[in-house]
């Protein structure tokens, strides 16, 4: 069966509704209201991309923070559960990477829950990033108090 064709859009600055809607669908990953609101606020200041289903439903989002001209970080990436393993995340990353390369960015990083924490959802998150070409750099015990952080990177060519 062929997957429906999604669109990747660059939302207008301050368009926070799609981010809030997508995160609300992912309580296992984004279940802390204060953290969710911080991500929604970040959508008002960071460049982002939204994956949109054929019916117009926002189904995925990625926010990118450009730290230096040669490096950028995925600040947030989220795809609604019903759309997992259907190419949405890869499509979002592909657009991000293409745009970053066009600007001369050479390295893309991401932080996620470290593997020393036994969470199945985040295990799948780490496997997704690895399948997309990211490699593990370091697990940090003190960046997020009480929560291990895995720092990953992907060179852009």
Q: How far apart are CA 98 and CA 137, in angstroms?
A: 23
Predicted confidence at residue 14, as pLDDT, reads: 61
pLDDT by residue (tens digit) across 25-79?
999 888 888 889 999 999 999 999 999 999 999 999 999 999 999 999 999 999 9
Partners of 138 in the beta sheet? 151
Q: What is the pTM of this model?
A: 0.90
Contact (CB, 8 A) for 99 and 106: no
Q: Domains in the chain, start-ordered, CATH in brackets? A: 7-155 (3.40.630.30)
Q: How far apart are CA 155 and CA 31, in angstroms?
A: 31
Q: How far apart are CA 13 and CA 17, in angstroms?
A: 11
For range 90-103, the mean pLDDT: 97
């Amino acid at each position: 069966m062929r997957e429906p064709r999604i669109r990747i859009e660059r939302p207008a600055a301050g368009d926070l509704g799609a981010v809030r809607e997508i995160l609300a669908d992912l309580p296992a990953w984004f279940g802390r209201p204060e953290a969710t609101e911080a991500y929604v606020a970040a959508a008002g200041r960071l460049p982002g991309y939204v994956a949109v289903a054929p019916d117009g439903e926002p189904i995925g989002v990625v926010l990118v923070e450009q730290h230096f001209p040669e490096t950028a970080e995925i600040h947030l990436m989220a795809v609604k559960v019903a759309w997992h393993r259907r190419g949405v995340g890869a499509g979002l990353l592909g657009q991000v990477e293409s745009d970053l390369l066009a600007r001369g960015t050479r390295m893309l990083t991401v932080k996620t829950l470290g593997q020393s924490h036994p969470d199945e959802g985040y295990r799948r998150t780490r496997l997704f990033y690895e399948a997309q070409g990211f490699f593990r750099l370091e697990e940090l015990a003190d960046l997020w108090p009480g929560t291990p952080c895995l720092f990953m990177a992907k060179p852009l060519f």
